[in-house]
Amino acid sequence: DAKTTQPPSMDCAEGRAANLPCNHSTISGNEYVYWYRQIHSQGPQYIIHGLKNNETNEMASLIITEDRKSSTLILPHATLRDTAVYYCIVRGHNNAGNMLTFGGGTRLMVKP
């Protein structure tokens, strides 16, 4: 599975959009981009995933560049409860067992 690179930390003002970047320059054609988040001392929570088209759900939007080498998770109106570590994960379609490889993630701090 392709490796991902994320900034270690970011700040965002409450009510503003939070844009979390992820680089995955070695991604291959059948690998999906997944985003999870982990609020302190809790289990990770699935947010969204995509292959090449942009995706949106009730939690967030995922924008994947045309060359698929990077993506951005957008939380449109960040709240204090969105403070968490956000993990960008690339997983192969042929990944037996659907295993996830978690890197260090981005620690998002939403400030009032």
Partner 1 sequence: DGGITQSPKYLFRKEGQNVTLSCEQNLNHDAMYWYRQDPGQGLRLIYYSQIVNDFQKGDIAEGYSVSREKKESFPLTVTSAQKNPTAFYLCASRGAGSEQYFGPGTRLTVT
For partner 1, the binding residues (CB under 8 A) are 32, 34, 41-46, 49, 87, 91, 97-105
CA 76, 82, 88, 94 dihedral sign is: negative
Please give the radius of gyration of the chain, using alpha carbons only, rounded to the nearest integer: 13
Q: Is the Cβ of residue 97 or residue 112 nearer to partner 1 in the bound state?
A: 97
Shortest distance in whole angstroms from residue 13 CB to partner 1: 25
Alpha-helical regions (H) of 1-77: none
If DSSP codes are grouped into helix, strand and coil, which group holds residue 19?
strand
Shortest distance in whole angstroms from residue 59 CB to partner 1: 12
Shortest distance in whole angstroms from residue 87 CB to partner 1: 7
Alpha-helical regions (H) of the chain: none
Q: Is the Cβ of residue 21 or residue 44 nearer to partner 1 in the bound state?
A: 44
